[in-house]
Amino acid sequence: MSGQTIVVTGGAGFIGSHLVDRLLARGDAVVCVDDFNDAYDPALKRENVAPHRDAAAFRVVELDVREREPTIALVRELRPDAVVHLAARAGVRPSLANPWLYQETNVGGTLNVLEACRLAGVERFVFGSSSSVYGCDAAAPFAEDALDLRPASPYAATKIAGEAMVHSYAHLYGIQATSLRFFTVYGPRQRPDLAISKFTAGILRGAPIELFGDGTSSRDYTHVDDIVAGTLAALDRAAPGYAVFNLGSARPTSLRSLVAALEGIIGVAAKIEWSPAQPGDVPRTHAALERARAELGYAPAVSLVDGLADFIRWLRPRL
Ligand SMILES: NC(=O)c1ccc[n+]([C@@H]2O[C@H](COP(=O)([O-])OP(=O)(O)OC[C@H]3O[C@@H](n4cnc5c(N)ncnc54)[C@H](O)[C@@H]3O)[C@@H](O)[C@H]2O)c1
């Protein structure tokens, strides 16, 4: 579908800015709502959306979605065809230090955006959730119908709460809504606080890198192009009601294997410093993709080696 008006909250961030690129390229009008906060250098976020600065179909609104009335007023003014809500405090470890900020942004902010959609009559809503909702004990591969979710961090808890709020609005007000559980997303513009960013920068600089645990923890690393393809499929989905989908690669990779892959591509051995596993971290993530494949036509296409090489090409000149 194209020719629609789509609001992307968090549209200046890592995943959001890639989605904005694709929406504009296919002919949609996009309003990026972002507060450009300093969770990491906001200059990076401005750089992410700078290429579209003069595009007639693109607008940036600097707004904090924790502000209820301005959020409602904006969505009522825009009356978009759909909202993709990605604005959030992301990352597990900082959520232990300031759980209130995560609660206010990821739960309160999500409620504000949903309420704005209800009042503006927005018919479609896509929510950026996380594999972290599955916690430590879920049976792998993680399937969307798992009911016994045991979040291991405030971040994970806020994503479960966000999903629950989205469901309640879909149920009560007939908004067609989708929660997408993203699995460890990587690629160009990646948040600098993420492990792949730190490891790659360390290896390229010849600096030590800190690995937590014993190297056996594993993540279902997913390239941002695959995540954006799945998000567009969810946005264009015609089915009414509420649905939740995993967007992953179904290819869990251990921490040690990830570092070995980076070493192989860069051609330099990492200087590894081992530290104990961190509170809030989960031992593994592994996406079951049957539902996303069947209902979204989702088919992750970027191999880990190709995806890491793509990321390194982007990062190297920026160091
Ligand atoms: N990157 C991953 O591996 C990953 C995995 C699972 C889920 N997610 C989710 O995907 C979404 C995007 O993540 P990302 O990695 O692109 O992170 P990001 O931090 O790069 O993007 C989030 C954007 O939201 C904006 N934002 C935050 N709070 C806001 C507020 N109160 N008002 C307006 N804007 C606000 C930030 O400024 C930022 O630009 C988040 O909801 C995150 O929880 C990401």
Structural domains present in the chain: 5-189+222-249+286-301 (3.40.50.720)
- Farthest CA pair distance, the chain: 56
Q: Which two tokens stand for residue 99?
A: 């759980």
CA–CA separation, 87 and 140 (whole Å): 28
Contact residues for 10 (Cβ-Cβ < 8 A; gap 6+): 16, 33, 34, 85, 86, 87, 88, 128
pLDDT on residue 156:
98
Pocket test for ligand 1, best of 21, 31, 35, 225 (most atoms within 8 A of CB): 35
Round to whole Å and give the CA distance between 202 and 207.
5
Which parts of 267-303 fold into alpha helices (H)?
A: 290-296
d(CA 265, CA 233): 32
State what percent of residues in the chain have pLDDT above 90: 98
Tens digits of per-residue pLDDT, 225-246?
999 999 999 999 989 999 999 9
Report the nearest atom of ligand 1 relative to the CA of 12.
39
pLDDT in tens, 23-56: 999 999 999 999 999 999 999 999 999 999 999 9
Q: What share of the chain is helix, strand, coil (3-state, %, to 5)?
A: 45, 20, 35
The token pair at 29 is 């009008």
Amino acid at 253: T
What residues are annotated to the active site?
A: 155
How many angstroms is it from 15 CA to the middle of ligand 1? 7
Nearest CA to ligand 1 atom 26: 87
Stretch 292-300: mean pLDDT: 98
Q: What is the mean pLDDT of residues 102-106?
A: 98
Centre of ligand 1 from the C-alpha of residue 153, in Å: 17
* Ligand 1 center to 211 CA (angstroms): 24
pTM: 0.98
> Which amino acid is residue 18, in one-letter code?
H
Count Cβ neighbours within 10 Å for each residue of 297-314 and write b for 16 or more, e otherwise.
Answer: ebebebebeebbebbbee
- pLDDT band of 2, cuts 50, 70, 90: confident
Q: Which protein residues touch ligand 1 with a CB less than 6 Å away?
A: 9-10, 12-16, 33-37, 39, 45, 64-66, 86-90, 105, 109, 128, 130, 182, 184-185, 191
Burial 13-34 (b: 16+ CB within 10 A, else e): bbbbbbbbbebbeeebbbbbbb
142 alpha carbon to ligand 1 midpoint, in Å? 22
Averaged over 240-260, what is the pLDDT? 98
Average confidence score pLDDT of the chain: 97
pLDDT score of 1 = 67
Percent of all residues in the chain with a pLDDT value above 70, rounded to a whole number = 100
- Length of the chain, in residues: 319
pLDDT in tens, 52-102: 999 999 999 999 999 999 999 999 999 999 999 999 999 999 999 999 999
Residue 141's identity, in one-letter code, is P
Residue 8 corresponds to which tokens in the numbers above?
Answer: 């992307």
Q: pLDDT value at position 204?
A: 96
Q: Name the residue at shortest CA distance from atom 10 of ligand 1.
A: 128
- Alpha carbon nearest to ligand 1 atom 18, residue: 13
